[in-house]
Structure 1
């Protein structure tokens, strides 16, 4: 048994072949699509970090790359910074954009000065996202500048200074004529971040000899020698 379809009330009949009706329908569809597109952009457009940055190890003299996977539409503006200072794209720091959604920073000619926290800022008209990671620099222990040869008179104070470097920070020691120096109130040495200083108070003739400073970490060993004469 078929069901009869009621006719529309007078004045409510629509002719779908009418050009004005078709144009109105197109405008409604376009408006809906535009609203949906704007809604999708608000939801999907703001930058997101899909795969975060990870800490990397940089060997002295080599290069390292920090990278993360992102999502953003329209394409975002990227800024990299180290310890809060913006880095310029150039020979030392290279901004890299890898298709389709990976951004990276390449740090060349690694040195101890590159150790620090790096931040990427991803920004477009819908918002921004940030991520951070550290570059951990490793460098062999090194005596940058060894102590100078000295000639002093009896009773004087001898100061032997060495400039040192290395990451991890190196172990430091001093020797006299090949033997470890036994520290006391008169003969002692201090170790700083970048220097080590050996002090000999009230120098005696027995203090004359060859003094050696050595540094060592898991990446290397270095040493330097100086001669002290007591007159």
Structure 2
């Protein structure tokens, strides 16, 4: 009996060993199948840096792939961001994600990091969000306005004004109702860091007369300033010069040797003498 028991015991151990070996093979196969179906997260579309005004709505879209679908986390300057009344994280179709800030404040400015994780690993990207504070955002305002000017043909004139705004505005010059065509041979535009603007026009002509308008525009609003420029004609020579050989010149020459009467002093003319062919 003892001899029979020993072979049975050996047979049972072999069976268990075989069963255990089969389980290892199935486990290896399942592990290989799982490994084949896992893909590292990969960002297919990432946002660029943004600048947003305080109090505005901000939406950041990006696209990420991976298998299984990765979990996404956001960090601001290294601190984790949790979804709340101000921050929302949405998943749209085809792997498109959105990170939303309902009302932007100056505290939302900084470097954002987005991390996507699944069983295969993780990927990340960073972006910067700049916030323009409300107190720094000012619509254009003309602190010095252009003045109406009068000049003569051939002269030069300067039309100056000063505008204050944040951020610095874009500027547009008009003459009457059309955009000003700057003649580089006679016209120059100048500005400095204090907001002073200057239009210089040289060798004025009659065509330069009219209304000049400067418009300043930025994200906060727009303002305009205008002035009138009038151009006068230079006066012609008051005294006409008698042409050589004329009757007037001969008459004046024949009288030049006669002395005035002693009782009457020479006549002094107080107004310009205009000569005429009728003399």
Q: Identify whether the pair has TM-score above 0.5, normalized to the shorter chain.
A: no
The structure that has the greater radius of gyration is 2
- TM-score norm. by structure 2 comes to 0.39
Q: Normalized per residue, which structure has more helix?
A: 2
- By relative contact order (CA 8 Å, sep 6+), the higher-ranking structure is 1
Q: Which has the higher strand share?
A: 1
Q: How does the TM-score come out when normalised to structure 1?
A: 0.44
